[in-house]
């Protein structure tokens, strides 16, 4: 059964939705960006209903300044108290809970890593955000992947010869690739948080999603060496470009990963 409830966070009243179920293992959903708790394409609402039908309670909420919640929107980097308060509210609403798994996509995944909230048994993280945008172009890793794919396509060469390609975008992208990449402070902070973390995590990455490509590149860097060696993080790459699991196959992969984590595997 679905319930709507409120809980407090540093003087603000936050709105939440609980899909109740009798199970002792439940899911906390942290929304990414400025997305409300229903999720893109109603995806978070759908996964909540599906998992609750299988016996797992699911708690999702709007952080301060988003959706139906009070307060100022401080972004994902200020969301630590919101997540911790949501964990306490989830436990209070479902006193039989013995195990909580948290899911976050994009900067919600980064928030869970950076804030390391207490009371979680496992994490499911997707398309982790490690980019600090400096212009309106995609991350360098995404640009590189895009051009490699285009070079394999004979139609792209024809478009180049006939002038169908936007040369301004082409040269902007090539210039981005040629410019030495400055270290990302956010990427380093996520790397440090993962290295010092204690919560095991399943990481889902869409192979052709720009955000996932940027994280994949960062993950292979020396900064993430300690995290790679920790054994806490298991990465699954999906053959997809979808960022928010809107396609049926991507949704099925997400649902499977969540159920596996909820079962303690």
Per the model's pLDDT, the better-predicted residue between 142 and 205 turns out to be 205
CATH superfamily of 2-132+184-262: Alpha/Beta hydrolase fold, catalytic domain (3.40.50.1820)
Greatest Cα-to-Cα distance within the chain, rounded to the nearest angstrom: 66
Q: In what order do the strands lie in the sheet with 201-206?
A: 2-9, 12-19, 58-61, 25-30, 99-105, 122-126, 201-206, 233-238
Specify the pTM. Answer: 0.83
Query: For 123-169, what is each residue's pLDDT tens digit?
Result: 999 999 999 765 454 444 443 434 344 444 455 445 445 555 454 55
Report pLDDT for 188.
Answer: 97
What are the residue ranges of CATH 3.40.50.1820 in the chain? Answer: 2-132+184-262
Listed residue (33, 59, 70, 71) closest to 117, CA to CA: 59
Q: What is the DSSP letter of 182?
A: P
Q: What is the crossing angle of helices 210-219 and 140-151, to 10°? A: 110
Determine which helix (DSSP H) or strand (DSSP E) holds 13, and give its type and residue range: strand 12-19
The token duo for 102 is: 């948290």
What average pLDDT does this structure show over 2-9? 97
- Mean pLDDT value across residues 22-47: 95
| d(C-alpha 59, C-alpha 53), whole Å | 14
Name the band, by pLDDT with cuts 50, 70 and 90, for residue 184: confident
Nearest to 85 by CA among 10, 195, 176: 10
Model pLDDT for residues 207-246, shown as the tens digit of each residue: 999 999 999 999 999 999 999 999 999 999 999 998 999 8
């Amino acid at each position: 059964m679905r319930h709507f409830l409120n809980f407090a966070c540093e003087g603000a009243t936050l709105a939440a939705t609980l899909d109740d179920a009798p199970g002792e293992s439940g899911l906390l959903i942290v929304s990414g960006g400025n997305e409300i708790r229903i999720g893109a394409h109603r995806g978070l609402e759908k996964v909540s209903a599906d998992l609750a039908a299988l016996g797992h309670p699911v708690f999702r909420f709007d952080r301060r300044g988003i959706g139906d919640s009070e307060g100022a929107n401080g972004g994902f980097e200020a969301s630590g108290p919101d997540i911790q308060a949501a964990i306490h509210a989830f436990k209070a609403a479902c006193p039989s809970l013995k195990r909580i798994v948290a899911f976050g996509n994009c900067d919600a995944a980064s928030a869970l890593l950076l804030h390391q909230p207490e009371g979680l048994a496992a994490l499911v993280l997707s398309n982790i955000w490690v980019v600090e945008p400096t212009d309106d172009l995609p991350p360098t890793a995404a640009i590189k992947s895009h051009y490699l794919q285009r070079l394999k396509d004979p139609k792209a060469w024809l478009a180049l010869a006939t002038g169908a390609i936007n040369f301004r975008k082409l040269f902007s992208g090539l210039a981005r690739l040629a410019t030495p990449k400055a270290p990302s402070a956010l990427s380093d902070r996520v790397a440090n948080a993962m290295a010092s973390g204690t919560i095991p995590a399943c990481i889902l990455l869409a192979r052709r999603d720009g955000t996932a490509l940027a994280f994949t590149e960062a993950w292979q860097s020396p900064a993430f060496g300690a995290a790679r060696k920790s054994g806490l993080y298991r990465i699954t790459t999906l053959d997809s470009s979808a960022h928010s699991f809107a396609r049926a196959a991507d949704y099925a992969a997400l649902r499977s990963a969540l159920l596996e984590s909820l079962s303690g595997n």
